[in-house]
């Protein structure tokens, strides 16, 4: 906005009692309405062209090896951790009283979920 819409930004913020908060709410509303999410930028060790080359080589190798198989037999799998019974990050405690928690309350339990989808999109 600062680079491409300077005049609009100046006009918008001039009429606001707290320009930063107003602009932040505007951007958050836009993000929610159009299904954007805030993410942490990730840095890769490889250049984009190198990653594209590796992906293409893997794809070619995979399909050369499994091209005879029906698509329903090819599964894409993703393993992810699911944490439950999470210990609280903060707790309420009376002023002047202890806020200690039992050792058994400090760790969460975890299971692993395996998510799969078939290459043909079927659910069977």
Q: Go through 7-19 and write b for each residue having 16 or more CB atoms within 10 A of its CB, e for each that does not.
A: eeeeeeeeeeeee
Strand (E) positions, 35-108?
75-84
Q: At 77, is the pLDDT very low, low, confident or very high (cuts 50, 70, 90)? A: very high
Residue 83, pLDDT above cutoff 70: yes
Q: At 12, is the pLDDT very low, low, confident or very high (cuts 50, 70, 90)? A: very high
Q: How far apart are CA 64 and CA 77, in angstroms?
A: 20
At residue 109, the 3 state secondary structure works out as: strand
Mean pLDDT of 24-29: 92
Query: Which has more confidence, 40 or 47?
Result: 47
Domain ranges (residues) in the chain: 1-37, 48-118
The pLDDT assigned to 104 comes to 55
Query: Which has more confidence, 95 or 7?
Result: 7
């Amino acid at each position: 906005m600062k680079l491409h819409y300077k005049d609009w930004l100046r006009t918008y913020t001039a009429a606001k009692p707290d320009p930063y908060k107003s602009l932040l709410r505007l951007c958050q509303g836009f993000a929610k309405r159009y299904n954007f999410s805030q993410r942490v930028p990730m840095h890769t060790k490889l250049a984009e062209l190198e990653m594209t080359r590796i992906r293409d080589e893997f794809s070619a190798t995979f399909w050369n090896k499994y091209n005879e198989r029906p698509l329903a037999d090819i599964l894409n799998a993703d393993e992810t951790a699911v944490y439950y019974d999470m210990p609280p990050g903060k707790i309420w405690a009376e002023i002047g009283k202890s806020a200690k928690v039992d050792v058994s309350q400090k760790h969460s339990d975890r299971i692993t979920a395996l998510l799969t989808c078939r290459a043909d999109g079927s659910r069977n």
